[in-house]
Amino acid sequence: MSIKSFSPEMTGAANRKITSLEEKILNSEAAIPHAEVKKYADYIIGKLKMYKDFEDETQDKVSFVVDALSEDRILKGIFHEIVDGNLNQKEVEAVVVRIRQALMEELKGKIDEKIYLGIKDFVNVGQDVSVSTISGRKLPNLPEEKNKQELKSLHKKNLIRHAIDIDNSRGVVYKNQERTVDEDYEKALQEAMDLFIKLDPHPNIVKFLENDPKNKGALYEHRKIKTLVEYVSENKVDFYRNPKLFAQTLEVLKGCMEGAQYLAENNLVLQDIRPKNLGVEVEDDEVRGVLFDLEGLMKQGTIESNRMYATGYEPPETTEDVVAVMPGEMTFQFGVSIRALMQKCISGYVPDPGKFDISEMFLKQGIIKDLAVLSEKMSKKNPKNRLSLPFAVAELEGIIERVKNIAS
Q: Which CATH number goes with the domain that contains 309?
A: 1.10.510.10
Residue 383 lies in a domain: yes
- Residues 107, 228 within the same domain: no
Residue 298 within any structural domain of the chain: yes
Q: Point out the domain boundary residue: 81, 105, 121.
A: 121
**How many C-beta neighbours within 10 Å does residue 98 have?**
19
Residues 239 and 380 both lie in one domain: yes
Does some domain include residue 13?
yes
List pLDDT tens digits, range 10-57.
333 333 344 444 454 555 544 454 666 777 788 788 878 776 555 445
Q: pLDDT at position 36, please?
A: 65
Please report the pLDDT score of residue 112 as a whole number: 78
Name the percent of the chain lying above pLDDT 70: 56
The larger pLDDT score, comparing residue 65 to residue 58, is at 65
Whether pLDDT at 169 is above 70: no
Is the distance from CB of 248 to CB of 287 less than 8 angstroms?
yes
What average pLDDT does the structure give for the chain?
A: 68
Distance in angstroms between the alpha carbons of the first and the last residue of the chain: 35
Last residue of a domain, one of 89, 121, 153: 121
Phi and psi torsions of 224, nearest 5°: -80, 105
Strand order in the sheet with 226-227: 226-227, 278-283, 286-291
* 353, 345 Cβ separation under 8 angstroms: no
Domain end call among 121, 150, 174: 121
Does some domain include residue 202? no
238 in a structural domain: yes
What is the number of residues in the chain? 408
* 3 state SS for 9-28: CCCCCCCCCCCHHHHHHHHC
Report CA-CA distances (Å) from 24 to 27, 89, 303. 5, 18, 61
Task: Please say if the pLDDT value at position 101 is more than 60.
Answer: yes
229 and 373 within one domain: yes
Query: Are residues 397 and 252 both part of a single domain?
Result: yes
- Please give the tally of structural domains in the chain: 2
Is residue 228 a part of any domain in this protein? yes
Domain annotation covers residue 268: yes
Strand pairing class (278-283; 226-227) = antiparallel
pLDDT tens-place string over residues 380-403:
989 999 999 999 999 999 999 998
In one-letter notation, the amino acid at residue 362 is F
Task: State whether 104 and 237 are in the same domain.
Answer: no
* Residue 108 maps to a domain: yes
Same domain, 399 and 254: yes
pLDDT in tens, 207-240: 866 655 544 445 556 677 888 988 888 888 876 7
Q: How far is CA 188 from CA 160, 200, 293, 296, in A?
A: 19, 21, 16, 10
pLDDT(177) > 90: no
Q: Which residue range(s) make up the domain with 12?
A: 3-121
What is the distance between the alpha carbons of residues 265 and 96, in angstroms, rounded to a whole number?
A: 49
Q: Is the dihedral of CA 206, 212, 215, 219 positive or negative?
A: negative
Same domain (yes/no): 107, 239 = no
